[in-house]
Amino acid sequence: MSELRTRAPPVDRAKLDATTEAQIEAYRSEDGYGDLPVPDAARVVESSQALRVRLGLTQKEIAAALRIPLGTRRNWEQGRVTLEPAAALLVVVSRMPEAAMDALGGQSDRSTGTS
């Protein structure tokens, strides 16, 4: 079981990233879910690396701001380990970067993604 948790899921990221919103809606309709709203909990959070880049932070800076080891941060971005509980923290940082960084004592002035 521990091996499953440390191994990256077999996901074709290029194919997933290339999927358009129109295709997703078509798949939902085909599966009988076209008329149902997508629950907020099902919304996809941007990748760990994309979030870091958008915030204009280095791996070292975001690791320090999130109070996690730099090695753990690198492993997330390289897909070596899953985020598990930290995923919730990334959702907060993604949706409210300034408030999250302020709460964590990070650099809120860089949280807007501007350099």
Domain housing 98: 2-110
The answer to whether 45 and 91 are in contact (CB under 8 A) is yes
What span, in angstroms and rounded, lies between the C-alpha atoms of 86 and 68?
10
Residue 115 lies in a domain: no
Q: Note the pLDDT tens digit of each residue in 61-112.
A: 988 988 889 998 898 888 787 766 677 788 788 888 888 888 877 654 554 4
What span, in angstroms and rounded, lies between the C-alpha atoms of 83 and 28?
27
Q: Return the CATH number at 101.
A: 1.10.260.40
What is the value of pTM for the model shown?
0.44
In the chain, where does DSSP find H-type helix? 2-6, 13-18, 21-30, 48-54, 59-66, 70-77, 86-95, 97-104
> Which residue type sits at 94?
S
Q: Note the pLDDT tens digit of each residue in 9-61.
A: 677 878 888 888 889 889 888 988 888 877 766 666 678 888 889 899 999 99
Residue 97 lies in a domain: yes
**CA 59 to chain centroid:** 14
The count of structural domains within the chain is 1
Residue 50 lies in a domain: yes
